[in-house]
Amino acid sequence: MNIIHRPEWIIPEREATPEDVFFNRRRFMKGVGAVGLGLVAGGPGLVTRAFAQDGPDPTLNLYPATRDPDFTLNRAITPESVTSVYNNFYEFGSQKTISGAAQALKIRPWAITIDGMVDNPQTIDFDDLVRKIPLQERLYRHRCVEAWAMAVPWTGFPLADLVKYAGPQSGAKYVRFETFEDSDVASGQRQFWYPWPYVEGVTMDEAMNEMAFIATGIYGKPLLKQYGAPIRLVLPWKYGFKSIKSIVKMTLTDQRPVGFWESVGPGEYGFWANVNPDVPHPRWSQATERLLGTDERVPTQLFNGYAEQVASLYTDLQGENLYR
């Protein structure tokens, strides 16, 4: 497929954000410890945005949740000062610097519809849903298809618990997710050539795997908007575009969902998108990844290092294009 309006993140990463711009910004952020401080003057011409919430967050008392020691890391956690200002959230633009624009998203009230092949279809307010399933914290690696990576503490619950809560019917084969659609607040959604709303999906087997996670928080606090508040998916063994943000709908279905990027560029982005260093993206290598917040490049791992937990999901699917 010919991608006429090529999104920034499908060009080689080094071209996407000049490293000197990115690393200078990071050094500055580190210097002032700016995240969450309000407006911070940082010298001539430099002002850093705060990430103020809409008002008192009624879920604050749920954080921090107890960390589950089974989900730990062999690399350093990427600082919040780095990950909160380097995001992919095309609803707010195709740059990494959407954190300011994303503050326009109103996350209260936030309704989530659960429908399709379920016994308990419903539309539920996020503040109710988040109290139905106990929260826990997990440390996960995250690998973007653009070959950058981070490691963060997510708070949330297993996707399997949400699927069970929905009451899956026997014919359900896939779980499909949808992001909000509101071009009044999300200027990126005025880019009419994209197939809004953002959609992603997994098989029921993937959804029930212990690694599939629904995040409502990060760094021991509710999600900031740029991370996909108030509720997002986290699939650490897949390229990051599968981890859909700001979910408003979960549908159990027997039809394989076509994801946002799969529909934009099916030759480059597929349904499975499992991380594999030996399968290059059509336009760049996936052999190594850059760790956000450092100058280091490290080898990429099969299934992003989670092969032990997830490889068995794919043993009967060898005819599929599992790594794109």
Instruction: Catalog residues that contact ligand MTE under the rule CB under 6 A.
Output: 83, 87-91, 144, 179, 198, 227-228, 240-241, 243-246
Q: In angstroms, give the least distance from the CB of 304 to ligand MTE.
A: 12
Q: In angstroms, give the least distance from the CB of 17 to ligand MTE.
A: 13
Annotation-wise, does 244 bind a ligand? yes
Annotation-wise, does 243 bind a ligand? yes
Which of 136, 162, 133 lies closest to 70 in space, CA to CA? 136
Q: In angstroms, give the least distance from the CB of 130 to ligand MTE.
A: 18
Closer to ligand MTE by CB, 35 or 144: give it: 144
Look up tokens 């997002």; give the residue: 232
Closer to ligand MTE by CB, 83 or 155: give it: 83
Closer to ligand MTE by CB, 88 or 216: give it: 88
Q: In angstroms, give the least distance from the CB of 12 to ligand MTE.
A: 15
- Lookup: tokens for 72: 């730990």
Annotation-wise, does 19 bind a ligand? no
Annotation-wise, does 30 bind a ligand? no
- Lookup: tokens for 201: 């999906």
Closer to ligand MTE by CB, 48 or 117: give it: 48
Annotation-wise, does 91 bind a ligand? yes
Core vs surface per residue 281-318: b (16+ CB within 10 A) or e? beeeebeebbbbbeeeeeebbbbbbbbebbeebbeeee
With CB atoms as reference, the residue minimizing the distance to ligand MTE is 240
CA distance linking residue 125 with residue 160, whole number of Å: 19
Q: In angstroms, give the least distance from the CB of 208 to ligand MTE.
A: 21
CA distance linking residue 285 with residue 1, whole number of Å: 20
Annotation-wise, does 87 bind a ligand? yes
Closer to ligand MTE by CB, 165 or 227: give it: 227
CA dihedral angle for residue 301, residue 302, residue 306, residue 308, rounded to 10 degrees: -120
Contact (Cβ atoms closer than 8 angstroms) between residue 304 and residue 236: yes
Q: How far, in Å, are 9, 19, 288, 290 from residue 13 at the CA level?
A: 7, 10, 12, 10
Q: Which residues are annotated as a binding site?
A: 87, 90-91, 144, 179, 232, 243-245
Q: Which residues are annotated as a binding site for Mo-molybdopterin?
A: 87, 90-91, 144, 179, 232, 243-245
